């Protein structure tokens, strides 16, 4: 059983979130915890200058609201929105290491004819994570 399970969720692709939470609840130790994270990259200043002044804050707020709706009524699930430079894969791995996650449950999309390949973020996490990784489709 796992003490800290991390579930990364892309705000634009939350399709498997409920499935990941159910799996995490089965694999979690009695005193374990589940954390949902969404990594959002910084928007370069050259792009941000063309956005409405509060757009970035609204986007973060909408992402957190969407994740909170996904876990409504579910116990033992914490939600974090992470604003980091760099790729989502690197951010997930760094978060897992820093917070001593012992399992990452990550969704991988079906990329059309390439069904046998993992998505780039999932592939990066599988290759570089120092803990167990469970990929769901």
For residue 32, name the pLDDT band (cuts at 50, 70, 90). very high
Per-residue pLDDT of 87-130, as tens digits, reads 788 889 999 999 999 999 998 866 554 445 556 788 889 999 99
Helices 17-27 and 55-70: crossing angle in degrees, nearest 10, is: 50
Mean pLDDT value across residues 16-23: 88
Domains of the chain: 2-136 (3.40.50.620)
pLDDT value of position 89: 87
Whole-model pTM over 0.85: no
Report which of residues 17 and 105 the model is more confident about: 105
DSSP 116-127: TS--HHHHHHHH
């Amino acid at each position: 059983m796992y003490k800290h399970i991390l579930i990364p969720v892309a705000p634009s692709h939350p399709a498997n979130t409920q499935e990941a939470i159910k799996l995490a609840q089965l694999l979690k130790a009695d005193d374990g915890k589940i954390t949902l994270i969404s990594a959002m990259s910084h928007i370069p200043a050259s792009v941000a200058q063309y956005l409405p002044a509060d757009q970035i804050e609204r986007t973060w707020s909408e992402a957190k609201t969407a994740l909170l709706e996904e876990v409504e009524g579910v116990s033992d699930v914490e939600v974090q929105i992470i604003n980091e430079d760099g790729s989502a894969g690197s951010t997930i791995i760094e978060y897992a290491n820093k917070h001593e996650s012992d399992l990452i449950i990550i969704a991988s999309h079906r990329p059309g004819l390439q069904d046998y390949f993992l998505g780039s973020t999932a592939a990066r996490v599988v290759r570089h994570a120092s803990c167990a990784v469970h990929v769901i489709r």
